Amino acid sequence: MRLIVGLGNPGAKYERNRHNIGFLAVDEIHRQHPSFAPWRSRFQGQVSEGQIGSEKILLIKPSTYMNESGRAVGETLRFYKLAPEDVLVIYDELDLPPSKFRMKKGGGHGGHNGLRSISAHIGEDYRRLRLGIGHPGDKRLVSNYVLGDFAKADKDWLEPLLDEIARNADLLAEAKDSQFANKMTLALEPEKAQRNGKKADKPAKDTASQSPSQAQSHTPSPPRSPAKPKGQSHIRQARQAKPAKLPTSGPMADMLKKLFGNEQD
């Protein structure tokens, strides 16, 4: 079994807060995957058990408020005798622009009180899905900003983001984080994915243009045309190179004379 934990604050007052994007994400996973049971109160949170692909999953939304999220996660982990690596936490990230995301395993809490609490209860070796909500630009405004509701205009990026997370939840369930990130980028940022794909394809194309023997050999086959000097062997290139200018005085010159006699004069 794996745990997918969404972070937020309980109650209708906080339901659409930026700080509650983790709750929104697990709610969308729950909505799109019919195998999940109705939400129920357990382990100091709202939980729902179901299956995604071949993995049994427990969705959990701590009811302990953000700053005490670790109490719910720790109790659940101990009950099922799971390891921190079996936990994925989804939460809001001020340092990422809206609609951006990052996958990460382990590390510090970065000032996020929900992570601070979870790390205190289960250690730091759990997986994280950080969802960007942007920064208000002044640290004095952060508290009101994260506890403020998403604007109507945020719907344009928020709904596609949550939808893609739920669509690709099977990769999260199987801990295939790199594949999940690739799928998300392809869906949400196709232009970026295309640019990255071209960069990745370039070296592969160069390698594919050579035969296996050429790719492994340090001495490529002679070029089809003399206009391509890069096809020359290392020995031939060395023969054509201009002779190095050797020192005629100083310690290096003395050393060369000892090695080669007067041939260097």
Catalytic residue list: 19
Closest CA to 91 of 105, 68, 112: 112
> Is 22 within 8 Å of 3 (Cβ atoms)?
no
CB atoms within 10 A of CB 148: 14
> Tokens at residue 46, please?
């709202």
Q: How far is CA 180 from CA 149, 187, 193, 235, in A?
A: 28, 11, 13, 48
Question: What is the arrangement of strands in the sheet containing 87-93, beginning at the earlier edge strand?
Answer: 40-42, 45-52, 55-62, 2-6, 87-93, 127-132, 101-105
CB contact set of 197 (below 8 Å; sequence gap of 6+): none
Q: What is the CA radius of gyration of the chain?
A: 29
